[in-house]
């Protein structure tokens, strides 16, 4: 089947195009959440006593690498959107060829290293001994999907930067259905427990990666993916890494801070660990719309920057802020009210439910700030600056949260201290992002006038 046409976004109604970008991204992210929710619901009821806690701690470790892949892919999409927007198809094809060659080699190396050190990393997190064997088993299976996740995260980001957000959504739907079906067969039907859930996830990830590669190979001949074609020279590849690595590290810093805070959470016992795992599933309903608009805006801004449409960039950011406010504020209130019922879909354990509900009560009322931060982050990256978002994430979401917990937990030994660290960090991030976005948009206006 011939690949779907891509879209240039430097013309046409801004609001409609942003929605056309963002909605498929959002649906893809919700499908990805369905991936995880399916595992949690099946394991919570059929996986045994420690399955939820084990998948939570394992998922946090894997998220360090996975979030790097997601962040790195957003940095790559900044480059590909700019090349596509300026109609530099030769440069786009060479960039894609070089990037995917690098991805395959990097993924294989990460798989090998990850398998060797996964047990030691679990020990560094002070993992409870009763949970450790299950967490290690889940890690050892899922780690063989790292290369697949690297491929499909970068592949979908490139497609989105070309204006094609529908195809990644469809392919992810196929993968999510496959994952859910295998969960039911392996965990409920064959009683394989956490190993069955991990195997279902691994197969579904590789299925998605292969479909993405095949699709990229069917794009227009002028810029379709070809692993044996002409790539970039080492100097040009370093330029790609210069944009991609900071975006990847931005996501890694968030994951590392979560891992460090997880040490504190682990000290409160398995109920607190599982409670945070369930909280993350409900939080996804707010996180993914915010994340989707940030991704959509990065590609939109990148393409328009390539053609010098600075006013469209400014207006797109304004519209995104309004959209996020109208979506996230009411949605956060609805989830706040419904959270007791939603959490019971995963477990009936009162200790786990209490911890998860406490996290919802203390973070959801201010989640709109996080959502707006995603808009400014997406715009700043689309304007070509991936270093500043990385530094902001390091300061606000990593260093601040860890220091906050280290200082306050000894005085106030409560999980509420952990939850409040998220709220305050959202505010700090907002104060750092707004002035820099305004500076960059003014700079873009000046450069556009000069050229």
What average pLDDT does the segment 9-21 reach?
Answer: 66
Residue 6 lies in a domain: no
Low-confidence winner among 49-58, 182-191, 212-221, 392-401 (lowest mean pLDDT): 49-58
Residue-averaged pLDDT of the chain: 80
pLDDT of residue 451: 37
Tell me if 257 sits within 8 A of 397, measured CB to CB: yes
Residue 183 has pLDDT above 70, yes or no: yes
User: Mean pLDDT over residues 1-5, rounded?
Assistant: 50
pLDDT of residue 294: 82
Q: Under DSSP, is residue 421 helix (H, G, I), strand (E, B) or coil?
A: helix
| Lookup: tokens for 259 | 């891992």
- Phi and psi at residue 9, to the nearest 5°: -115, 15
Q: What's the total number of domains in the chain?
A: 1
Res 373: pLDDT? 94
Residue 317, in any domain of the structure: yes
pLDDT greater than 60 at residue 61: yes
What's the rounded mean pLDDT across residues 143-149? 89
Between 394 and 241, name the one with better pLDDT: 394
pLDDT at 1: 42
Give 46's pLDDT tier (boundaries 50, 70, 90).
low
The pLDDT of residue 203 is 93
- 3 is a domain residue: no
Average pLDDT over residues 290-318: 81
Condensed to tens digits (0 to 9), the pLDDT of residues 255-275 reads: 677 667 777 777 777 778 778
Mean pLDDT in residue range 18-31: 70
Distance CA 38, CA 146 (A): 20
Residues in the chain, overall count: 451
Query: Higher confidence at residue 430 or residue 310?
Result: 430
Do the domain assignments include residue 291? yes
Measuring CA to CA, which residue among 281, 136, 139, 274 is closest to residue 202?
Answer: 139
This prediction's pTM: 0.70
Q: Most confidently modeled of 44-53, 167-176, 223-232? A: 167-176
Say if 7 falls within a structural domain. no
Residue 450's pLDDT is 40
Query: Is there a domain that residue 5 lies in?
Result: no
- Mean pLDDT calculated for residue range 104-123: 82
Range of 109's domain? 14-450
CB atoms inside a 10 Å sphere around CB 49: 12
SS3 content of the chain, % helix, strand, coil (to 5): 85, 0, 15
Residues 319-360 pLDDT 10s: 889 888 998 999 999 999 988 888 888 777 788 888 888 888
Q: How confident is the model at residue 10 (pLDDT cuts 50, 70, 90)?
A: low
Q: Confirm whether 2 is domain-assigned.
A: no
Examine the pLDDT at 370 and tell me if it is beyond 80. yes
The pLDDT, as a whole number, for residue 232 is 60
Whether the per-residue pLDDT at 211 is higher than 90: the answer is yes
Q: Given this model, what pLDDT does residue 312 score?
A: 85
Between 379 and 248, residue with greater pLDDT: 379
What is the arithmetic mean of pLDDT over 192-219?
A: 87
pLDDT (0 to 100) of residue 344: 84
Q: Is residue 8 part of a domain?
A: no
Residue closest to 357 by CA, chosen among 255, 260, 281: 281
Q: Which of 73-82, 224-233, 398-407 has the lowest mean pLDDT?
A: 224-233
Residue 191 DSSP code: -
Average pLDDT over residues 7-32: 67
User: What mean pLDDT is predicted for residues 82-96?
Assistant: 80
């Amino acid at each position: 089947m011939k690949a779907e046409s891509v879209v240039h976004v430097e013309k046409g109604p801004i609001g409609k195009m942003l929605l056309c970008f963002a909605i498929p991204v959002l649906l893809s992210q919700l499908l990805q959440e369905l991936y995880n929710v399916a595992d949690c619901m099946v394991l919570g009821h059929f996986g045994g006593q420690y399955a939820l806690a084990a998948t939570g701690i394992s998922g946090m470790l894997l998220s360090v690498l996975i979030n790097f892949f997601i962040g790195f892919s957003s940095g790559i999409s900044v480059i590909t959107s700019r090349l596509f927007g300026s109609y530099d198809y030769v440069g786009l094809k060479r960039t894609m060829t070089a990037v995917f060659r690098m991805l395959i080699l990097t993924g294989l190396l990460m798989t090998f290293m990850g398998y060797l050190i996964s047990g030691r990393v679990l020990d560094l997190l002070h993992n409870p001994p009763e949970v450790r064997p299950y967490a290690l088993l889940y890690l050892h299976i899922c780690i063989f999907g790292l290369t697949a996740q690297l491929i499909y995260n970068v592949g979908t980001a490139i497609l989105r930067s070309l204006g094609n957000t529908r195809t990644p959504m469809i392919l992810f739907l196929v993968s999510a259905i496959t994952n859910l079906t295998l969960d039911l067969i392996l965990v409920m039907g064959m009683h394989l427990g956490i190993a069955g859930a991990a195997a279902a996830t691994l197969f579904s990830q590789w299925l998605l990666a292969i479909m993405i590669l095949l699709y990229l190979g069917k794009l227009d001949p002028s810029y379709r993916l070809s692993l044996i074609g002409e790539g970039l020279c080492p100097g040009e590849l370093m330029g790609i890494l210069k944009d991609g690595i900071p975006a990847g590290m931005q996501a890694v810093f968030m994951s590392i801070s979560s891992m460090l805070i997880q040490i504190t959470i682990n000290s409160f016992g398995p109920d607190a660990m599982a409670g945070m795992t369930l909280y993350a599933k409900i939080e996804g309903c707010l996180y993914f719309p915010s994340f989707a608009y940030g991704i959509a805006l990065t590609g939109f801004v990148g393409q328009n920057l390539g053609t010098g449409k600075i006013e469209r960039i400014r207006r797109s950011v304004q519209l995104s802020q309004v959209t996020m406010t109208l979506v996230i504020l009411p949605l956060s209130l609805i989830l706040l009210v419904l959270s007791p019922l939603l959490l019971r879909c995963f477990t009936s354990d009162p200790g786990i439910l209490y911890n998860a509900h406490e996290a919802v009560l203390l973070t959801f009322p201010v989640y709109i700030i996080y959502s707006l931060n995603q808009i400014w982050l997406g715009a700043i990256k689309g304007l070509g600056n991936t270093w500043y978002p990385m530094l902001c994430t390091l300061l606000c979401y990593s260093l601040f949260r860890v220091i906050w917990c280290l200082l306050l937990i000894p005085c106030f030994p409560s999980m509420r201290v952990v939850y409040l660290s998220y709220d305050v960090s959202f505010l700090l991030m907002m104060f750092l992002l707004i002035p820099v976005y305004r500076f960059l948009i003014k700079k873009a206006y000046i450069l556009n006038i000069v050229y």
